[in-house]
Amino acid sequence: MAVVVIAGSSGFLGTALTERLHANGHQVRRLVRRPATEPSEISWEPAAGRFPDEALTGATHVINLAGAGVADRRWTSARRQTILTSRVAPTTLLATSIAATGRTDLTLVNASAVGYYGDRGEDVLDESAAPGASFLARVCRAWEAATEPAAEAGARVVNLRTGIVLDTGGGALAQMLPLLRFGLAGPLGNGRQWWPWITRADVLSAIQHVLLESVISGPVNLCAPNPARNRDVMASLARAVGKPAVLPVPGTALHMALGGFAAELLGSQRVVPDALLEDGFGFTWPDLDQAAQHLLGE
């Protein structure tokens, strides 16, 4: 039985991962930023640098999914700072706390994102690809760099560069679902940009594989092995609900509605999960049409 400490356990991925780990017989300790109300909860204050030593006593693995949402508000200067610090501060605290234990048997699996690569056009991006220069690329570089104290102390560290996670329970698909069902969802911009999609089911399986079943370390691209252009993603999702996807959303409209985040939706990232595939991980939903039908077929 693994003893897994989770930061960000109440989010779109963290809630489902916690349930999955419990169902598989593992013990989960949830880090919460409020007084603990359950035996499985441990209070911490990452902004103040406060982390209780007992959180890691007997623990075998740590996974950090904490971070403010990037798509729920416009990117003002203050919001950009929140996006950065809400990732770097918790990661730094966890990595330095792991290093302070002197234990080399601990594993830290830390969230990151395919935003690391920036807008790269037609380039095929495996884990060795250079970082981009966009705001999110800079955030991801700082986010991953914050794990270095743990790695330097000998702990196994994995940075999950996660793509666009598809599931009706949250994330991008949940936001698009009403438009899809009314036949109003179409390509974003010209639709030619590559979107590194993945189902939440495969994300959870991949995290469990990396966390508990593997000795892999370093960056890991968390996306399906068959990347698709935005127009094809939208078309597959629309077909699954029996609607057309022919109404494009102009890039100018996206910029007006979303501000800085629009550039991320219009950017192209042809990301491939080479590290996972080489490590023997098998995707349940590698095909876009089959994944869309599984998620939305009615």
In Å, what is the CA distance from 116 to each residue of 21, 30, 71, 163?
Answer: 28, 27, 16, 10
Using CA atoms in the order 72, 265, 143, 219, what is the torsion angle rounded to 10 degrees?
140
Least confident segment among 98-102, 168-172, 210-214, 269-273? 168-172
What is the distance between the terminal CA atoms of the chain, rounded to a whole angstrom? 39
Distance from C-alpha of 254 to C-alpha of 258, rounded to nearest angstrom: 6
Mean pLDDT score of the chain, rounded to an integer?
A: 95
Q: Domain holding 183: CATH number? A: 3.40.50.720
The residue with tokens 């192209």 is: 268
Distance from C-alpha of 6 to C-alpha of 29, rounded to nearest angstrom: 6
The residue with tokens 């629309």 is: 238
Distance of CA 194 to the CA centre of its chain: 17
> What pTM did the predictor assign?
0.96
Distance from C-alpha of 149 to C-alpha of 171, rounded to nearest angstrom: 31
Give 259-297 pLDDT, tens digit per residue. Answer: 888 888 899 999 999 999 999 999 999 999 999 999 998
Overall domain count for the chain: 1
The sign one gets for the Cα dihedral 96, 158, 117, 296 is negative
Domain extent, residue 158, equals 3-296
The residue with tokens 């079943």 is: 213
Give 155-182 pLDDT, tens digit per residue. Answer: 999 999 999 999 999 888 888 888 888 8
% residues pLDDT > 90 (the chain): 84
Give 49-68 pLDDT, tens digit per residue. Answer: 999 989 999 999 999 999 99
pLDDT of 262 = 86
Distance of CA 236 to the CA centre of its chain: 22
pLDDT of 230 = 96
Give 109-161 pLDDT, tens digit per residue. Answer: 999 999 999 999 999 999 999 999 999 999 999 999 999 999 999 999 999 99
Residue 298 in this model has a pLDDT that exceeds 70? no
pLDDT of 121 = 97
Distance from C-alpha of 2 to C-alpha of 234, rounded to nearest angstrom: 39
